[in-house]
Structure 1
């Protein structure tokens, strides 16, 4: 084999190796093009399969300390519908405890609230060119609330529906996972309505989640 033939063979081998690497390279790791990976398609424009658009996680919500003490958890399944739209569903459990206190007339017994239910939500990244990862957030949460009063037998159970609107800021960790800080306003909050007042405490709902 002549020198020129050997040189052509080596060039062809290197070209084949580079081409194979481009075909087998994980699209999620191809950041050398100066752009982050797309959320619903590969860099070659092929749509990602359904399973690769799913996100799983959850978070904590309703946290208040002192009197009352409140803490909740909320598992989440989210779906990246478009590059800027995320939709999802989640479960909710929230525990709230009011300690006994004296109201100036007499002692008021402590109260315990157990809230459990589900929610559906949508998040839209509305100004990605100015503030990326900032989402308009809307959701509807429906909960069953069980109220128990110290020293009183039995319990009261009621329903609470809360339409919530606000914003979420998401700090991506990977294409399918991020840390999310959410601030929502409860459109159905009523300071004079027992369950809504005692469970939510205020119309503002702050949530920290991971998905």
Structure 2
């Protein structure tokens, strides 16, 4: 587990470094001609090479304070398939500390959750002439969760699959980098499932990411 955490941290650091480097490197920028930058072509109309269609980044997710307390990171690699379609993959790590509420007044120990997972997603800019940079967003996230009872030391392992649908608004900073605000609905959320309640909190998932 420790090696996986280090690996995810290295991916996040690498992605962030590349993403910030893209802030000043935008060879497709056509703003000087009063036009929007092209995402898959050069200004002369030639297809961009594979490497120039890639977007690297990530974000902080599962951020909650109180009970539960939760924080996570999610590195992302995305590919600009067409001018309007973006496909991507990402990793996920989240730490959660949660204390269930007892109806009987009995003392309930804290539990620690370590979530490791991956996701695939698609974003489609569906009404660019009316609301540019607004995307339909669909993804599937699969997670493995290790749960530890802080009092007894007992552990358990679970898995969750979450199909998510919603919208992303992307504010471009360069041709291959933007700030993204995402609101998704978890179609597989079960409020009676303790692990899902601790990890997601509700069927609504809000994310802020950079890629």
The one-character-per-residue Cα deviations of 1:160-199 (angstroms, maximum 9, x if unpaired) are 0000000000000000100001010000000011211111
| Aligned partners of 2:111 and 2:147 also within 8 Å | yes
Q: 1:102 to 1:194 in 2, by over 3 A?
A: closer
Aligned-residue offset at 1:154:
3.1
Q: How does 1:27-106 map to 2 (within 5 A)?
A: 28-99=28-99, 103-106=103-106
Structure 1's unaligned 5+ residue stretches are 1-25
Q: Distance in 1 between matches of 2:101 and 2:202?
A: 20
Secondary structure of the residue aligned to 1:83 is coil
Q: 1:48 to 1:152 in 2, by over 3 A?
A: same
TM-score by length of 1: 0.84
Q: Distance in 1 between matches of 2:153 and 2:66?
A: 26
Q: Distance in 2 between matches of 1:168 and 1:47?
A: 26
2:127 is the alignment partner of 1:127: yes
Q: 1:127 to 1:185 in 2, by over 3 A?
A: same
Q: Distance in 2 between matches of 1:72 and 1:171?
A: 22
Q: Distance in 2 between matches of 1:136 and 1:171?
A: 15
- The residue aligned with 1:190 is 190
Aligned-residue offset at 1:151:
1.5
| Aligned partners of 2:74 and 2:93 also within 8 Å | yes
Q: Distance in 2 between matches of 1:116 and 1:177?
A: 26
Q: How does 1:152-171 map to 2 (within 5 A)?
A: 152-171=152-171
The one-character-per-residue Cα deviations of 1:54-98 (angstroms, maximum 9, x if unpaired) are 000000111111111111110000000000000000000011112
Aligned-residue offset at 1:149:
1.1
Aligned-residue offset at 1:100:
7.3
Q: Which has the higher contact order (CA 8 A, sep 6+)?
A: 2
Q: Distance in 2 between matches of 1:92 and 1:203?
A: 18
Q: Distance in 1 between matches of 2:27 and 2:209?
A: 27
Q: 1:141 to 1:152 in 2, by over 3 A?
A: same
- The residue aligned with 2:15 is none
- The residue aligned with 1:22 is none
Aligned residues: 186
Which of structures 1 and 2 has the bigger CA Rg? 1
TM-score by length of 2: 0.84
Structure 2's unaligned 5+ residue stretches are 1-25
- State the 4+ residue runs in structure 1 displaced beyond 2 angstroms: 26-33, 99-105
Taking only aligned residues, the RMSD between alpha carbons, in angstroms, comes to 1.5
